[in-house]
Structure 1
Amino acid sequence: MKKILLTLVFAFALNTLSAQNESVEKKAIDFNQWSFELAGGFNKPQRPLTSGYSTSIISPYTLELGTRYMFNNKFGLKADFGYNSFTGNDESFDFDTKYYRVDIQGVANLGRMMNFETWTNTFGLLGHAGFGLSFLERKDPTYVKDRMGNFMVGVTGHIKLSDRIVLTGDFTTITNAKQNVAFDGSSANDIRGFNGSLFTGTVGLTVYLGKNAKHADWTLDNQDKFDAIDARFMAIENKMLDTDKDGVADYLDEEANTPAGSMVDTKGRSIDKNNNNVPDETEAYILKNYASNTTNSPLLSNNELITSLINGGYVAVYFDFDKSKPTNVSTEGIDFMLTYLRNNPTASIDIVGHADEIGRSDYNDKLSNARAANVKNTLVKANIDASRLNVIAAGEDTSVDKDSENARRLVRRVTFRVK
């Protein structure tokens, strides 16, 4: 026990000297240093006890109150008050004595010294040792009192319930100096020096005081380092996300919010070999039917298939932002419909204009109508009877993510429905 005390005192002294030599430019303390402690439990007085007097192996009652201040996350000081009640067991002469003590102790955070943080942030361990004054009192049958000095050493286990409250379990050995009366108060003690011995075991709560989030008990020496590592892991995890579900992690994805179903390259960009700003997969059917030799396409012999393609939106005319004139590469959609109408002179169609969600809804309604009207005028100029062409303004298309520029390109269009 003396070796443990010397180790704690020596470590505490070294830390105090080190703290005094630290630079005045030391960074501001970002942890709480004060705590209040309350615990209760049992005791066992060992010696001296008068012959014929004894207590239970685990004897009530013990009460401890204390306040602690930590200089840093490893060392601190504690002032505490203790109360113990000693009574005889069934085999003892009857007695009832009280033992009071007041102590100042050095505290060492053994959990931090042994790097508990490498395997847990919930359990902690403190070591404490110090000196104080004690008072023993018996009132019946005659009043007896004794004053003495004491030395104590113990360990306190911690279970963190929150950043403010900790469940504690403590075991302490108290040795009295110059104890002149036995713990039962019935006889004198003839042994000098450290001649009294008492064990206590308690369970209690520690409440941390202060404005910071953490107490020194749970603050790591390399907290900044650990925080930086955690931040790096979090950044890596975020980068590995695939928000638009195109099979390319976000940190490699150069095209955020790729439209669903689009084929992409290794950088997450929609594949668009003809550079018409429409992903190739989306316009696959369109390109087959927009070729210059449309009239010779075997597909045209199957009116049911062609009608399905048209009504399914695979034949479309695309527009730039806020424009009612088709893009150059998408005018082939008009050519396809012109060929279809010429080959099917009894057919009539709806020309449906669309707009993206950018801008006011009433403006987009007008823009979608202007786009459909523009396509109608082009077909009329190619000698298609205007009575076969019906303009519909569908307004804003809300089926895609409006925050994706590439998705919005797909809905700035005119589609067709065969009637």
Structure 2
Amino acid sequence: MKKLFTSSAIFMLALVASAQDMTTTSTKAVVDNTEYNKWSIELNGGLNKPIRTMTAGYTTGPVNFFHGDLGARYMFSPKFGLKLDFGYDKFQEGDDTPQFESTYLRTDLQAVINLSRALNFETWTNTIGLLVHGGFGVSQLTSENGFNGEDYMGNGIIGLTGQLRLSDRIALTGDLTGIVNAKQNFNFDGMRAAGPSTVDGMLLNASIGLTFYLGKNKLHADWVGEADKYNDLEKRVSFIETGLLDTDKDGVADLYDLEPNSIAGVAVNTKGQSIDTNQNGVPDELESYLDKTYGQSGKAATTNNTVEDLINKGYVNVYFDFNSSKPTNASLPGVGFLVKYLKENPSKNADIVGYADEIGNSSYNTELSRKRAEAVKQIATSSGIDASRLNVIANGEDASVNKDSKDARQIVRRVSFQVK
């Protein structure tokens, strides 16, 4: 029993130490279509009161300090989880009682039921919660004035925890817990052997404490309700609806389109990329048209002029998500288009022109447009273009589209180019 108690306590402490790392390095946890944090650390302190298994004439005070416990909890869903916790209680004599001092240690594995989610508290509050916890564990009793050595026993535990949400990361808690010991050989005061019954000592703990939520998501499972599931589902449906749009009208939905700014009317592959067999930066269909129209002798000059014209007229762009200065992966071919042209035309330079939509402060958006242009310039220089050939321009907000349209705003969050 002693080895089991010690091993359980060590395991609980190791679990506490590793919980933060596990939450920050794991992939996204998605249950019931809602992303939330699952780990929490619980720290409590308060009072205790032994109810039975005390020697006649020995009592603790009406308010007996000290109780403390530390636990690590993992929620499998917003309604159910497990926690492993370690508890400490000290018992001392009350008034007109012979002197004694005993220490009670325990460790327990408990199931946790989130009553506030089961009863849909979110329909009337998002700051008050209620947990029920219960399980089994092992305990140890030692005494300064009574028996020598340690008394080891099993225990059952059940409790009720009220929660007051202070922030997305911290909750204030109040807990009332009852513990029943099995095969307790000595009284809590340590003065004499307990009775022969199987179920002996009973103990009440009342405490207040703090719960610290761990993880990279906004909410912990304790506070995820049905409304959050519906909101998340709505976002996913919106993402699918938006992804099924075909912005550049090439027959490939934006969700699967690796080249969302392909030239209208030019054939593309199944990934929305313009077909360019000889990798000269000009789509095959456009190149064939130029060849037929201008003849082979004028092809090179005309092709270069046409490519430059396409770039300068805004057919080649790099796009960005809202409030981001990092190009979307799908629009990186736009940078490649410019890089390829500048490498084949070493006498040419380019202005890299950044834009933002109209949402937010104008001065902030101007700076954001500059950061976007700088990010594209960095990619181009990393691809072999000398920085002296590239000039960054921050054009700020593009007011040419309806600012109330989400899809239109996506089009103007861009970087375009001017070759000269």
Q: Which TM-score applies when normalising by structure 1? A: 0.47
